[in-house]
Amino acid sequence: MEKDYIFDTSSDLGRHHMDCLENVLDGPTTRLLEAIGVRSGQRCLDLGAGGGSITRWLAERTGPTGKVVAVDIATDHLVEGPGIEVHRHDIVDGLPVDGPFDLIHARLVLVHLPQREKVFETLVNALAPGGWLVLGEFSGRPLKVVSAPTDEDRTLWERMMYLSHEVLGPTRGIDFDWAHKVQGRMEQAGLANVQAMEYSETTTGGGDGCLLHRNLNQQAEPLLLGLGATPTELSRYRDLMLDPRFRAWFYQFVCTAGQRPPH
């Protein structure tokens, strides 16, 4: 999986990428985690831990006797501390440590993996009785423009979204339909109390959502050029993501939880 992943989270752009994601998604993520309950003494797995914000949030609530195992293919921005254990590892190769876990959380991980079904089964099997699996993914809902400085800018946005999501993404195994398949897969796997939350908001030029779009576009530049985007288009698109006159819907984030029956 590591060689197929478009984005380099160990770079400076990758650090900014993770900061933007945390700013936008930590709120809805922790609301669902709070709803299912995180308690002292629990053993948790945070998969695709990124910059570690959810790892730290879990560690605060499971301490002092709990443990959070943070896993990512790049661990440059993860720090071990009380109750936190860090592993640089590709989940496609299995778990770096054995279960069971009282909580497994993965955000924007399985959507990127062609082997998502295999990984999903691995995670379900690693749950302790009564343990929760929480998966947060972006869906394929179109990212519609609300306002733009010009009609040409609106058209440019639509072209960048098309190239990124409908042309480039599938070549790297990304499946935005997965987000709305998770509930059914959890039920098929025998998980109980399955529940889900959808979250989105508009993003304005210069805000975290648009800054993330700009960042991802920069990281994917060689691939986008190979698909026919021009340097002029990329430059204008990045300027647009800083322009407060631009506003569009951000990704729809679907967070789904299911619980392994206690017995």
pLDDT tens for each residue of 201-230: 999 999 999 999 999 999 999 999 999 999
Sheet holding 202-204, edge to edge: 145-147, 247-249, 202-204
Q: Which residues pair with 138 in a beta bridge?
A: 253
- For 26-82, what is each residue's pLDDT tens digit? 999 999 999 999 999 999 999 999 999 999 999 999 999 999 999 999 998 899 999
Q: Which two tokens stand for residue 256?
A: 């789904």
- For 103-148, what is each residue's pLDDT tens digit? 999 999 999 999 999 999 999 999 999 999 999 999 999 999 999 9
Q: Does residue 3 have a pLDDT over 50? A: no
Q: Tell me how many domains the chain contains.
A: 1
Host domain of residue 246: 2-259
Q: How many CA atoms lie within 13 A of 244 on its CB side?
A: 0
Looking at 48-177, list the stretches that DSSP marks H as alpha helix, in order from N- to C-terminal side: 53-62, 116-125, 151-161, 169-171
Rounded CA-CA distance 35/71 in Å is 24
Q: Does residue 1 have a pLDDT over 50? A: no
Q: What is the pLDDT of residue 5?
A: 57
Rounded CA-CA distance 201/250 in Å is 6
Element (H, E) at 76: none
Element (H, E) at 33: helix 12-36
CATH, residue 225: 3.40.50.150
Q: What is the pLDDT of residue 58?
A: 98
Answer for the pair 33, 256: CB distance below 8 angstroms, yes or no: no
Considering only CA atoms, which of 255, 108, 74 is closest in space to residue 180? 255
Q: What is the pLDDT of residue 263?
A: 78
Q: Can you spell out the DSSP letters for 151-200?
A: HHHHHHHHHHHIIIIIIIHHHTT--GGGGGTHHHHHHHTT-EEEEEEEE-
Amino acid at 215: N
Considering only CA atoms, which of 185, 155, 50 is closest in space to residue 177? 185
